């Protein structure tokens, strides 16, 4: 086997990058020639975490070939979220905590999906199962991933396994989850001077649901009014992107990481499916959704059902 490239989804978040680093290091400890790479540059939150623990950002790739045909996927399995040439590659492992969709292989593989809050929670168990100690910097980026995915253990996706893994990783990395976690989440809310057209693609994923092309984007904030004051600009950017990329529905979640509520901006059709899925009423492209923070648990299943009707 040639070098194995390990990577998370496009528009990587802290789990996509942290889990790639975590799995690549575990594979190396088990004797494999594995290397963590990424399908995009780290966002502000991930950069904060990498800097904090003295780690370098993984190299960005767009295709795995010609350097290798051997890959492992973390934090995703759907092909439209993966590397451009995924269909030509041999996937040896998948470690994930999302729904399974659009995934098939020609050869047997190690496939591990658990309904926990973060891929790095599963990886923490895998280190333990293999009796491999987790290096301090790796524990730090993995702890950051759990904090990020679970919004400091407050998201409804959080399980006891996440709580236990974070406590374990935090002790290895010598951080206080609350103090460090609050700084990390705040670092992720820095919109800089980026324009709406850029911001709506920063953390966005595509889904096909009963033939409807859906784009789900999310921005974390500590003050949603910053974004809502520019609602029309954001809606216009979403309309343009939907037109350009062929999305039928484009949702932007503006998630307040302090209250764990979201404002939702929506363009496209069918709006009644979005109303039903989120139990809101969208007016002028906007609705407030109390307690809504998780795409994978609070939107994707409900919207998939609503669009199937």
Q: Examine residue 66 and say whether the peptide bond preceding it is cis (omega within 30 degrees of 0).
A: yes
Binds Mn ion (CB under 5 A): choice among 13, 27, 203, 241: 13
Residue span binding Mn ion (CB under 5 A) among the ranges 33-41, 55-63, 111-119, 191-199: 111-119
Q: b/e string for 29-45 if b means 16 or more Cβ within 10 A?
A: beebebbbbbbbebbbb
Task: State the binding string over 126-155 for Mn ion (x if CB under 5 A, else -).
Answer: -----------------------x------
Residue span binding Mn ion (CB under 5 A) among the ranges 5-13, 26-34, 78-86, 162-170: 5-13
Contacts of 171 (CB under 8 A, 6+ apart): none
Rg (CA), the chain: 19
Q: Which is nearer to Mn ion, 16 or 55 (CB)?
A: 16
Is residue 15 a contact point for Mn ion (CB under 5 A)? yes
Alpha carbon distance 235, 202 (integer Å): 15
Residue span binding Mn ion (CB under 5 A) among the ranges 55-63, 69-77, 155-163, 240-248: 69-77
Q: How far is the CB of 122 from Mn ion (least distance, A)?
A: 10
Is residue 75 a contact point for Mn ion (CB under 5 A)? yes
> Whose structure tokens read 């709006």?
271
Is residue 162 a contact point for Mn ion (CB under 5 A)? no
Asked if 169 and 143 touch (Cβ cutoff 8 Å), the reply is yes
Q: Which is nearer to Mn ion, 144 or 221 (CB)?
A: 144
Is residue 253 a contact point for Mn ion (CB under 5 A)? no
> Whose structure tokens read 């919207």?
303
Is residue 16 a contact point for Mn ion (CB under 5 A)? yes
Q: How far is the CB of 118 from Mn ion (least distance, A)?
A: 5
Is residue 70 a contact point for Mn ion (CB under 5 A)? no
Is residue 20 a contact point for Mn ion (CB under 5 A)? no
Q: How far is the CB of 300 from Mn ion (least distance, A)?
A: 13
Q: How wide is the angle at C-alpha 307 spanned by C-alphas 294 and 263, nearest 5°?
A: 35
Other Cβ atoms closer than 10 A to 168: 19
Point out which residues pair with 6 in neighbouring strands.
36, 72
Three-state SS at 176: coil
> Whose structure tokens read 């935090």?
170
Tell me which residues touch Mn ion (CB under 5 A): 13, 15-16, 75, 119, 149
């Amino acid at each position: 086997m040639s070098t194995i490239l390990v990577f998370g989804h496009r528009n990587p978040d802290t789990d996509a990058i942290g889990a790639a680093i975590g799995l690549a290091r575990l594979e190396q400890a088990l004797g494999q020639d594995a290397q963590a790479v990424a399908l995009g540059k780290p966002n502000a939150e991930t950069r904060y975490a990498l800097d904090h623990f003295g780690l370098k950002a993984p190299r960005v790739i767009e295709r795995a070939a010609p350097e290798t045909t051997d890959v492992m996927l973390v934090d995703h399995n759907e092909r439209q979220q993966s590397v451009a040439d995924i269909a030509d590659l041999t996937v040896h492992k998948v470690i994930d905590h999302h729904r399974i969709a659009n995934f098939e292989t020609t050869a047997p593989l190690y496939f591990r999906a658990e309904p926990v809050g973060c891929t790095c929670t599963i990886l923490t168990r895998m280190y333990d199962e293999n009796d491999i100690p987790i290096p301090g910097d790796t524990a730090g980026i993995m702890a950051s991933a759990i904090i990020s995915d679970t919004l400091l253990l407050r998201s409804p996706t959080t399980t006891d396994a996440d709580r236990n893994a974070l406590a374990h990783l935090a002790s290895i990395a010598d951080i206080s989850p609350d103090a460090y976690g609050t700084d990390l989440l705040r670092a992720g809310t820095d919109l800089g001077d980026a324009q709406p057209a850029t911001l709506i693609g920063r953390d966005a994923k595509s889904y096909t649901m009963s033939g409807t092309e859906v784009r789900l984007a999310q921005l974390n904030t500590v003050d949603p009014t910053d974004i809502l004051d520019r609602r029309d600009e954001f809606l216009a950017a979403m309309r343009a992107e939907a037109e350009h990329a062929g999305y039928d529905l484009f949702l932007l979640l503006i998630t307040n990481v302090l209250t764990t509520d979201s404002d939702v901006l929506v363009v496209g059709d069918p709006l009644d499916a979005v109303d039903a899925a989120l139990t809101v009423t969208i007016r002028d492209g906007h609705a407030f959704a109390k307690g809504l923070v998780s795409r994978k648990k609070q939107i994707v299943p409900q919207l998939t059902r609503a669009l199937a009707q």
